[in-house]
Amino acid sequence: MTTTISFIIVLGVLITVHELGHFLVAKGIGLRVERFSIGFPPKMFGFTWRETEYCVSWIPLGGYVKISGENPEEPPENPDDPKVFTSRPVHQRAAVILAGPLMNLILAFLIMPLVFFLGTAVPTYLEKAPVAGWIQPESPADKAGLSPGDRILSVNGSEVRTWQEVLEKASVDGSLWMEVAGAGGVRSVSLEQDPEGESGIGILPSMDPVIGFVVKGGEAERAGIEEGDRVVAIGGIPVSDWNQMARIIHNSPDKPLTFEIEREGAARTFTVTPKKDESLGHGLIGISPKTETVTRRYGVAESIRLGTARNFELLGLTFSFLWDLVTLNSSIKNLGGPIMIFQVSGQAARAGLAQFLAFMAFLSLQLGVLNLLPIPVLDGGHLVFLGIEGVTRKPVNVNVRETAQKVGFFFLILLILVISYNDIARLLPGK
């Protein structure tokens, strides 16, 4: 029930805000709005107030605002009527189209700061002393000679007392130097960071190899591994740190591994074969570590700063992912659809209000960006037509528009089918 309600709230809010953008700008410049619908037909219920019908429809995959004269297949009786969409100049029509995606982006930038103000869960190790628990092989830290047990005293001349301070000071590109205290006393080391590297500087806190989450239908679950299990050894190699275990799994795609597990004081053995993740290029079995967290809250100004920065980070990741799709550097299998949203919205709701709002802000950003893609039937496609009209000083031929709309609609349906298949495939054993 929680999942269903949270799914309805997420989609309802995002769709309503999007369509409200179109509606408010259209009304604001004096256009006649015939219908404001949340969802696609058939209609569930509604009412009419003044000249607009407001309704909720059964198919919850979007919504629409019907403006007089907007549909070329339904020409208005009086094309010169100032309340008709086509009677307005290009910039006003573009403002109406752009308002929907823009409202989704604005919503995200309003919600995300609230997430930090309410409090976000952060790992407790960030507040602990920065003692190296694991050094990633071939990382800058490994090449500089750091070892597990070394205590980081300063980064680039600034004293550090917690892992949080280390991460903040070491986030710069290029070289950095540290003072560390270890078995040989205090020494200075220089690290050359690889901007293309995946492990950062390669110094990680100690993390017990205790499983905190098992992916449903994943390799670990199908082998019998459960949450709370402690991994003692893999393939006869003793395991003392989660990162050590992860490295073994990542380097063993499609190779059976024998896991020695401690469960409630009893020893158990399981055989698991890591499945190669095509996008990451290494093996995975569908587990994540058990981590203790603490809720960290921020003041208003800091929440706005962090929320804004987080949104720009997510926007960057979104554009990067889209580019990888276009250049075939990422698989379409990574796309998720309504089923995934349904599942994750429930998980986010159970995790708390802040997590739920963070998920809603993330989806709102995606909706805003994706609607701006230059695909006919999407807002971005309409903006392309208006851009052409603005340059040529005449509307795009109706037949050309209709053909483009049909192609765009076919593409959109095909995309929905693909992501729906991805969602269903994730639920099947072995996928």
Structure tokens at 375: 């695909």
* E strand intervals along 111-256: 120-123, 134-135, 151-155, 158-159, 175-182, 185-192, 203-204, 211-214, 230-234, 237-238
- 3 state SS of 121: strand
Residue 160 tokens read as 């550090």
Give the residue among 105, 85, 91 at the shortest CA–CA distance from 17: 105
CA distance 431 to 142: 36
Question: Is 226 annotated in the active site?
Answer: no
Distances (CA, A) of 287 to 37, 144, 274, 279, 339: 42, 31, 11, 17, 21
Which position among 19, 70, 219, 260 bears the catalytic label?
19
DSSP, collapsed to helix, strand or coil, labels residue 354 as: helix
Whether residue 231 contacts residue 239, with contact meaning beta carbons closer than 8 Å, is answered with yes
CA distance 302 to 310: 12
45: its two tokens: 């219920």
> Largest alpha-carbon pair distance within the chain?
88
What are the residue numbers of the active site? 19
